[in-house]
Structures are given as structure tokens and as C-alpha cells.
Structure 1
Amino acid sequence: MVWLLNDAYDVEHRAYLMSEKRMKLIPLTIPSRGASIVMSYDELYTPYIEMTWLLPFIQLVSRSTPNLNAAAISALTDRWRPETHSFHLRTREMTLTLQDFSMITALSIEGKHVCMSTDSEGWRQQMKVLIGMSPPEPEVEDGEKKDRVPAGAPFTWIVANFAHCPQDTNDDVIQTYSRMYM
């Protein structure tokens, strides 16, 4: 199995630094941002989000970031091998499957995909079709157009326009706010 491992990856690998270089490394820390208080979930979104099969995932992540064991995350990170896309543990090699990912994230792996075109060209037009508006074009400086966000709307623009869904509104507006929440 050793022949599968590439020495080039080992130079910066945590396991190599600990075993060969005898460096004392601390457990990795995971930044916890918690649930977004800026874009709170509104129950009006539920019928539209249910159609995408994303409701269990949104309920999972909108509560708060789960508590993670930093030592366990560090141990798995130290044993991850990019050459084989698996964890090399003392007992055997372990690979995360699509089913494992589905169980952890509550995302369905069956049915139609949700993603649209991810090309950065034309994202403003795509937003206009989906929600009826898009962020303004960036200002021109020195005769040169600078697009700081080449593939999507800035979060500040989304929050400024879609942070709170109006309660007494029609289904089209609720559907637009649901799309922006997702």
C-alpha cells in the first residue's frame, strides 16, 4: 500500500510533520459561525423549499453549527490521503461514500439535481429571470470595468434586499424570497 502514497504530498502533510519532523502540532480548530441571524428562516418558505428536497438540510444548518470534536477532526485530517481520496487508519483504509455524505448532511442523493448552470458568464441575467432583479453593475474606474464578484451576488446586497420576507404578500414574492434564502 505504501507505493500508492506520493512523497510530494508528504512534505506539508500533518502526519509527516509529526512522525518524520517530530513537530508538536496542536489540534485543529473549527470556526463556528452558528446560524445566520441576518437571514432568518421564515415558515412561509417551507412549501417551496420542500419541493427542492432541501428542507431537512436547511433545518439542520439553520439551528446552529453542530459541535465538532477538534481532536477527532484533527485525527481524520492527519490520516487523509489525497492520492487515494481516503483516510488511512491503523485498522484499514476508509472512504467516505455518497451515502455517508447523504446521511451526515440530510441531503437526498436521489431525484433530479438542483444546480443550474454554474458558468460565471451571464449570472446577472440568470438572477433577473429567477427573481426579477440583480445587483447593479460595478462602478467603472479608470475606464476599466471591474467586477469584484464574477459569479454571484454579494451577500450584503442579498441581505439588503431579502433579509425579511413581507408577511402580507403574494405567492410570487414568497417564492422569490425562498429562492434567495436557498
Structure 2
Amino acid sequence: MELPDAVRHIVDQASFGVFCMGLSRLTASRPLLGALVERWWDTTDFFHLSAAGEMTMTPFDFSMLTGIRVEGDPIPFDIDMDEWDAAQIYLLGARPPLSRPGFVRYSWFEDHFRIQTPTTCEEVEQYTRGFIMFLLGPTLLIDRVNTVTLYLLSALVDVTWIRRYDWGGAGLTTLYGYMSSSSRRSGHLLGGYWRAWELWVYAYFLRLAPVLDVEMPPIVPYSHRYDVRCERRPRESFLFFRRYFDTIIAAEVFQTLQFI
């Protein structure tokens, strides 16, 4: 979605601008993700590597990868709002069709707002809420049926308060939950969240990262590192990644850290 200038200003102030520009364009490596999933312990939210020990994505890692800080006030979810239909029309300018009670497909927000040009302050705020719902649906707060909860509108009533909430904490928690769900399903891969995990792997395990045509310094968000032309390393198999994670030692990991 190409944002009107007034909307973009609010999105940038809410700290989502850097996140939008840093969404990864890389394609998934399913063997790599499968090898990660089988090493995840859902009781600790850590990967257990045979020789290197335990590792996971920390709040600091998440912030460096995405540009979204893990801090702030808890996100308010008011599931008991009175006159819900009226609130939707007030906050979005329309009543979105529900795919299931309390949820709407995030693609509706793109379809509805793409053809609009906000002119009043009220329309700008409605457009901003719709864009953030569309942004969060397939990224930070993704679910398996491509929907986003309308209760999230509770946090978007006052657009000047959006920056105060802990969006990074919510995203990281969701990421842990999907990895745990995937591990219990014996390798079932986790929707759109492969991007964050794959970037995390590239930061800590440089041997597995794509080769850049032009070397880029570490930047925030880390996914900007791969905006230049890059070439994936030869397509490795699941067995390759399994052996790699079983044999790499801690000293090799810390020699390749990209965030320090």
C-alpha cells in the first residue's frame, strides 16, 4: 500500500516506518527451518544445539532484526466493548466483514483503503488504523488463517498513543508460540514467521547466510542487509543443516556475530 504523506507521518511516529521498509524479500529455506524446528524445546523457548548448547532469539535480537522495540505498556485488548459495530464504523469508517467472530481477513484492509485518499483528520486517522491492522496481520501478530482480531482496534483509538505499546514483546511472544506449535507437529512450518527466524540464523551462523555482492555493515533492521543483490549458498539438504547444528560449537557462533 502506498501511504498518503499524512498517514506515513503517523506510521513513522509510531515506530512502524523502519519496520515496513525492513520486511525481508528473501525466500524461505524449508530444510533450514525444518532443522530448526526439531531443535526447539517448547518448555524453555530455546533451541538445543548438540555442541553449542542453548540459543534463542532474545528481545534485543528481535529489535535488531525488525526495528521494533521490545518495551512499553501492555497492548490494551478490550473484548467487551459496547456497541462494537458503531466503534468499528467510527474507528475505520466502515464495518469490515467478519470471517469468524471478532476476526477479519487482513486483506480486507488493503482492498478497502487502497482506493481511498483521506482528506480530513478523521479520515487520516481511520486510514492509519486500517494500515496498521493490515501491517500487523501478516507480520507481528500473524495467525494461521490470515486474519487479525478486531479487538486490536482498542490500541488504535488514539493514534498518538500507538508508540507507547509493547508491539515487539507481542511479536516475539507470538513468534515463540508458533515455533512451539510447529515443534509439536514434528516439523510443520510456521506461516510467515520463517522470515524472522531465518534472518536470526543468518546473523548468528554466517556460514549459512546468502553471499552479498557488496558487503553491507550491520544495520537496523537487519533485513536491510539483504536489500542489495545476494546469492544463496548452494541448496543444502535437511541432513546438511541437521549435521551443521549438531556439530557447530559456541566459539564458532560468537566469531560470526553480526550485531556486535
Q: Give the TM-score, by structure 1 length.
A: 0.57
Q: How many residues align?
A: 129
Map of 1:9 onto structure 2:
none
- Amino acid in the other structure paired with 1:92: G
Q: Residue 46 of structure 1: CA displacement?
A: 1.3
- Mark the CA change 1:101 to 1:116 in structure 2 (over 3 Å): closer, same or farther: same
Tell whether the 8 Å contact from 1:99 to 1:109 is kept in structure 2 after alignment: yes
State how far apart, in whole Å, the 1-side matches of 2:107 and 2:65 are. 30
Relative to structure 1, the CA distance from residue 55 to residue 121 in structure 2 (aligned partners, 3 Å threshold; closer, same or farther) is same
Runs of 4+ that moved beyond 4 A:
120-123
**Separation in structure 2 between the aligned mates of residue 54 and residue 42 of structure 1, nearest angstrom:** 13
Alpha-carbon distance in 2 for matches of 1:109, 1:69:
27
For residue 27 of structure 1, what is the aligned residue in structure 2? none
Give distance in 2, aligned partners of 1:118 and 1:74: 37
**Residue in 2 aligned with 1:181?**
131
Larger RCO: 1 or 2 (CA < 8 Å, sep 6+): 2
CA drift of 1:159 comes to: 4.0
Residues of 1 paired with 2:29 and 2:39: CA distance?
16
Distance in 2 between residues matched to 1:156 and 1:85, nearest whole Å: 31
**Structure 1 residue 157: Cα displacement:** 4.2
The answer for the alignment partner of 2:88 in structure 1 is: 127
Pair 1:165 & 2:122 matched = no
Deviations 1:63-98 (A, max 9, x none): x64334333322211211112211000210112221
Instruction: Select 2:31's aligned residue among 71, 74, 77.
Output: 71
CA distance in 1, matches of 2:71, 2:45: 23
Contact 2:4 2:117 in 1 (8 A): no
Conserved 8 A contact 2:18-2:67: yes
CA drift of 1:132 comes to 3.5
Please identify the structure whose Cα radius of gyration is greater.
Answer: 1
Q: CA deviation at 1:101?
A: 1.5
| AA at the equivalent of 2:131 | Y
Matches of 1:179 and 1:66 in 2, distance apart? Answer: 28
Counterpart of 2:117 in structure 1: which amino acid?
P
1:117 to 77, 102, 105: 77
Task: Tell me the residue number matched to 1:149.
Answer: 100
Q: In structure 2, how many angstroms separate the alpha carbons of the residues matched to 1:151 and 1:120? A: 11
Any stretches of 5+ residues in structure 2 without a counterpart? 133-260
Structure with higher helix content: 2
- Separation (CA, whole Å) in 2 of partners of 1:124 and 1:163: 22
Distance in 2 of aligned mates of 1:157 and 1:71:
33
2:99, 2:105 within 8 Å by CA — same for their partners in 1?
no
Q: How does 1:16-165 map to 2 (within 5 A)?
A: 40-44=1-5, 45-61=7-23, 65-90=25-50, 91-113=52-74, 115-117=75-77, 119=79, 123-135=84-96, 148-155=99-106, 157-165=108-116
Work out the CA distance in 2 between the residues paired with 1:152 and 1:125. Answer: 16
| Structure 1: stretches of 5+ with no match in the other structure | 1-39, 137-146
Q: Aligned-residue CA RMSD in angstroms?
A: 2.8
Hey, what's the Cα distance between the residues in 2 that align with 1:68 and 1:82? 22
| Partner Cα separation in structure 2 for residue 172 and residue 121 of structure 1 | 21
1:148 offset after TM fit, Å?
4.2
